[in-house]
A and B are shown apart, each in its own frame.
Chain A
Amino acid sequence: GESVGLHLPTLSVQEGDNSIINCAYSNSASDYFIWYKQESGKGPQFIIDIRSNMDKRQGQRVTVLLNKTVKHLSLQIAATQPGDSAVYFCAENSGSARQLTFGSGTQLTVLP
């Protein structure tokens, strides 16, 4: 899951398995959340978003779950592929004027 500091949490999964990446967000007033994927040397890429009036949202091979009671967000990736190897960030709209605030990221490594 997400944490503050210089060392990224890591998650290693076998190719074909499902991945679950967790994020604890900070602000109970946040009502919009996004997951981003960042490959080495590239900018963050939008994966999926969810608003606080929903508990679950599905995309292509990805599902985001939101638990507002415990301020927890998760990203599930089905049938993880080598191309899914990247750092994954969650973000919430808790910043100035509802700008996005990012977590520190989780490094996902897909093993052959």
Chain B
Amino acid sequence: NAGVTQTPKFQVLKTGQSMTLQCAQDMNHEYMSWYRQDPGMGLRLIHYSVGAGITDQGEVPNGYNVSRSTTEDFPLRLLSAAPSQTSVYFCASSPTLNYGYTFGSGTRLTVV
């Protein structure tokens, strides 16, 4: 099992550009989430999904979209990148609620 796979590992965007951060898991987990981590801070929840076809907003959803067409994939879209979205993004999955999340290795995004 590969676990949670995130691509790309690094990305530089210009302000106003759009892009999609990919996340895939091969553990048949129902729950998937996207977090962002800023320097010296904990992780903040952007969006989450409790199953295919179901998504909802977390703590900091503005500027991001998600969809969950399959159990395996949970892409995060930046609609119009802003410097404030410079961060490290982590995708995570869990088999059910109130169970330890498995995290991917992250995507380091810089918006200039």
Contact = CB atoms under 8 A, between A and B. Distances in A.
Interface in B89-106: 90, 92, 97-106
Interface string A51-87: 1000000000000000000000000000000000000
A98 B45 contact: no
Contacts, number: 71
Given A95-B58, A96-B59, A46 B100 contact: yes
Contact of A6 (B39, B44, B98): B39
Nearest to A7: B40
Contacts of B106: 42-43
A83 B55 CA distance: 37
Contacts of B67: none
Task: Give the interface centre of A98, A100, A103 by most chain B CB atoms within 10 Å.
Answer: A100
Contact of B100 (A49, A96, A105): A49
B45 A101 contact: yes
A99 B42 contact: no
B71 interface: no
Nearest to B3: A43
